[in-house]
Amino acid sequence: MIYDVIVVGSGFSAIAVTCNLIERLPGSAAIAIVGDDPGFGRGTAYRTELYLHRLNVPAGRMSLYPGRPRDFVDWLESRNKRLQESDFASRSDYGLYLRDTLAGLLRKRAGRCRVDFIKAKATGCVERYSATFGFQLDNGDEIAGKNIVLCLGVGNASLPVEPSGIPAPGRSRIVRNPWRLSWLGRVASSDDVCILGSGLTMIDQVLALRAHGHIGRIDVLSRRGLAPLGHVKVPPSPSQTDVQTLPDRISEILRILRSKAREVEDWRAVMDGLRPVTQALWQRLAPDARSRFLRHALPWWNIHRHRVAPDVFERFETLVGDGTVRFRAGFLKSIEMGKGGVFVRYRVRGRPDIAEIRTDWLVNCTGMERAGIGHSPLLSEMMRTGLIAPDPLGLGIEVNDRSAVTPASQNSGGRLFAVGALTTGQFWEITAVPDIRVQAKAVAEEIVAAN
């Protein structure tokens, strides 16, 4: 059979697209969802069971549906978890909400389109001349569909420097994917841990280590030694910014924003005011201004924009304050196994000196955000055959402002879309729920309109 829509992926983006499609497609339509994740809908972000792994966006902005802002808060309430819209729910509750919402739609059978879940990894894709795309799956099957939505998220970034001289037993001391939380069970309570990268994933891993009884030292190495800042319990009212009045040069834009931040009581008001206009601002920037932003301003943008829940921040700050977590700023040079552990050498930021950290465990938290195409055999294959192209900055794949993949859909009239972080080059802020849900709805509406 030929599906009307194939959704590839099994995280939030896939659920959001699917829920919007189910609500809109006629009963005669058929959707296939191809995902390799056992906890369908949770993806990397909402799979965790640890309560301290909290959402970093308040509950009132985490509804699956942009037009029904209280949906998640109401769901929590229906489970006797009374939270304010400004509270930060646990990520595991959010994963349950996503699965429950989808299950609720699937239970309503009358007039609903067919939905097939296929537990597999898509490994290749060809465009056919009959207005369809065919997918090869790793279980040997093939499926075909008229509309495709790629919801692959981003893979785990690889280690910035490959370890050398590490015999097989030592390799397990290097945790390449910290989201496989089983590594925590192998860490002895007094082991030293070195974390590469100082973003949200690092904070999650530090708190997970403590929750597992770890009392040893934790070194955090990143280029600038900057860590995410915290939300405040009572958020300030957003201070609006008119994108049209901003200049074209990044340095000028940043100067204006910094001066606005000095004028308000809390700089968060300026960051929060930028949120609704960030995509428009990004799309206005010339390519060289975008790359200048990535080169010079990205670490500061990330720590101010992607903040952690207030109590999570407080807890983390206590660990920094008592010396448990120590920040090192520098450029990783080498990772080697030696007598007594793993040795991480780095050039100290702003100096020619090489410093060394001896550790029992090295954990790669260098990020999920910018893994590009290389991490995915499917995307690499689609790029080889010309179905997709990387965006000019290598942040993901090229799509137009309707999230349609631009090099594809030209031969057969088949339609290929991408949702989520893969479209960062076009939209920039498209990694969190408040942005992805708008995109997922728009893509679903476009598919339904053309069906």
Which residue in the set 10, 101, 132, 366 belongs to the binding site for ligand FAD (CB under 6 A)? 10
C-alpha span between 45 and 15 (Å, rounded): 13
C-alpha span between 181 and 191 (Å, rounded): 17
- Class of residue 213 by CB neighbours under 10 A (exposed 0-12, middle 13-18, buried 19+): exposed
- Our CB check for ligand FAD shows the closer of 14 and 408 to be 14
Task: Point out which span in 28-36, 65-73, 332-340, 397-405 binds ligand FAD (CB under 6 A).
Answer: 28-36
Least distance in angstroms from the C-beta of 183 to ligand FAD: 15
Confirm or reject binding of residue 102 to ligand FAD (CB under 6 A): no
Task: Point out which span in 21-29, 36-44, 64-72, 278-286 binds ligand FAD (CB under 6 A).
Answer: 36-44
Confirm or reject binding of residue 184 to ligand FAD (CB under 6 A): no
Least distance in angstroms from the C-beta of 446 to ligand FAD: 18
Least distance in angstroms from the C-beta of 268 to ligand FAD: 16
Angle between helices 91-107 and 12-24 in degrees, nearest 10: 30
Window 46 to 65, contacts with ligand FAD (CB under 6 A): 55-57
Confirm or reject binding of residue 364 to ligand FAD (CB under 6 A): no
C-alpha span between 172 and 190 (Å, rounded): 18
SS (H, E, C) 119-170: ECCEEEEEECCCCCEEEEECCCCEEEEEEEEECCCCCCCCCCCCCECCCHHH
**Count of CB atoms situated within 10 Å of the CB of 328:** 17
Q: Interior CA angle at 442 toward 437 and 443, to 5°?
A: 100
Confirm or reject binding of residue 152 to ligand FAD (CB under 6 A): yes
- Our CB check for ligand FAD shows the closer of 121 and 345 to be 121
Per-residue x/- mask for ligand FAD, residues 431 to 450, rule CB under 6 A? xxx-----------------
Least distance in angstroms from the C-beta of 285 to ligand FAD: 23
Percentages helix, strand, coil for the chain (3-state, rounded to 5) are 35, 20, 45
Structure tokens at 239: 């201070």
Cβ(343)–Cβ(362) below 8 Å? no
Least distance in angstroms from the C-beta of 162 to ligand FAD: 23
Confirm or reject binding of residue 11 to ligand FAD (CB under 6 A): yes
Window 188 to 217, contacts with ligand FAD (CB under 6 A): 201, 204
- Our CB check for ligand FAD shows the closer of 57 and 166 to be 57
Task: Point out which span in 73-81, 187-195, 331-339, 425-433 binds ligand FAD (CB under 6 A).
Answer: 425-433
Q: How many chain residues touch ligand FAD (CB under 6 A)?
A: 32
The kind and range of the H/E element at 335 are strand 325-338
Confirm or reject binding of residue 414 to ligand FAD (CB under 6 A): no
Beta strand 142-150 pairing with 174-175: unpaired
Q: Interior CA angle at 405 toward 244 and 379, to 5°?
A: 125
Least distance in angstroms from the C-beta of 365 to ligand FAD: 10
Confirm or reject binding of residue 420 to ligand FAD (CB under 6 A): yes
C-alpha span between 187 and 433 (Å, rounded): 33
Which residue in the set 22, 29, 31, 45 belongs to the binding site for ligand FAD (CB under 6 A)? 45
Which residue in the set 3, 12, 183, 313 belongs to the binding site for ligand FAD (CB under 6 A)? 12
Confirm or reject binding of residue 14 to ligand FAD (CB under 6 A): yes
- Our CB check for ligand FAD shows the closer of 12 and 97 to be 12
Confirm or reject binding of residue 222 to ligand FAD (CB under 6 A): no
Which residue in the set 2, 23, 30, 44 belongs to the binding site for ligand FAD (CB under 6 A)? 44
Cβ(398)–Cβ(389) below 8 Å? yes
- Our CB check for ligand FAD shows the closer of 50 and 264 to be 50
Residue 329 phi/psi, 5-degree rounding, is: -105, 125
C-alpha span between 50 and 91 (Å, rounded): 8
CA distances from 428 to 130, 177, 277, 298, 390 (A): 34, 24, 11, 11, 14
Interface contacts to ligand FAD, rule CB under 6 A: 8-14, 34-37, 43-45, 55-57, 121-122, 151-153, 201, 204, 368, 376, 378, 420-421, 431-433
